[in-house]
Amino acid sequence: MDAYDVILQKRDTRAYAATPLPEDAVRRILQAGRMAGSAKALEPVRAVAIRDGAQLAAFAACGNFTPHVPGAALAVALVLVPEEGMPLGEFAQWRGPFDAGRAAQNMMLAAWELGIASCPFTVHKGDAARAVLGLPPGHIVINAVAFGYADPAARDPMRGQRPRMALESYVHWERW
C-alpha cells in the first residue's frame, strides 16, 4: 500500500477487538519506531511494549484519558532518555516529544498498513508510570500508543472520516 495512501487514510481509533496481534506485526511496528530519525541522531526514544493484561491496566491508570488502553492488544510506552547536560524541562520541550511523535507516527503507519488501528495517549502521571514500567532514574515517559484490530462492532472505526481543517487554513505561504 502506497505510503501516501496510508498517511491519508490512517485514523486514530480507540475501540479494539480482543484479537491478539501476530508476532511479526508487533515486531514490524517496533522496527518502524526504531527507524525514525532523531535530533542529532541522539536516539532518545525507547519502547516498552506491553501486552500483558494486568500490566496494560496498570499502565493505563497512569493517564487521564485511557479507557481504551486496557482493551488494546499492545501498548507502546515511548520512554525518553534525556540528553546529557540538558535541563529536563528544556529536553521535554525541545527534543524528546517531537522525536517521540516521529517514532509514534512511524509505528502507527506501519500498523495501519497491516490493518491494525491505533491511538496515542498522554501519560499524565509520570511518577506512577516510572514505577509501573520500572524505569531507570532520569528516564521519562510522556506519550504512548495503543494498538489493536479495530472492533468491528464499533461504528466503522477504520473508515471514520473525521474532518480536518481545510488545507487553506492549515497552510500559510512564506509568512502567516
Stretch 46-105 residues interacting with its own copies (CB under 8 A): 46-52, 55, 65, 79, 89, 92-105
Q: How far is the CB of 22 from its own copies (least distance, A)?
A: 14
Q: Which of 79, 78, 75 is closest to 138 using CA atoms?
A: 79
* 73 vs 109, beta carbon nearer its own copies: 109
Q: Which of 35, 22, 18, 16 is closest to 109 using CA atoms?
A: 35
Residue 4 binds its own copies, judged by CB under 8 A: yes
- Stretch touching its own copies by CB under 8 A, among 6-14, 15-23, 149-157: 6-14
Stretch 122-161 residues interacting with its own copies (CB under 8 A): 122, 124, 132-136, 139, 142-143
Stretch 102-121 residues interacting with its own copies (CB under 8 A): 102-106, 109-110, 112-113, 119-120
Residue 23 binds its own copies, judged by CB under 8 A: no
The string of DSSP letters for 98-162 reads: HHHHHHHHHHHHHHHHTT-EEEEEE---HHHHHHHHTPPTT-EEEEEEEEEPBPTTSSSGGG---
Size of the site for its own copies (CB under 8 A): 80
Q: How far is the CB of 19 from its own copies (least distance, A)?
A: 20
Q: Decide if 74 contacts 49 (C-beta within 8 A).
A: yes
Task: Report how far residue 98's alpha carbon sits from residue 89's, in angstroms, rounded to the nearest whole number.
Answer: 14
Stretch 24-43 residues interacting with its own copies (CB under 8 A): 27-28, 30-37, 39-41, 43
The string of DSSP letters for 38-62 reads: -GGG---EEEEEE--HHHHHHHHTT
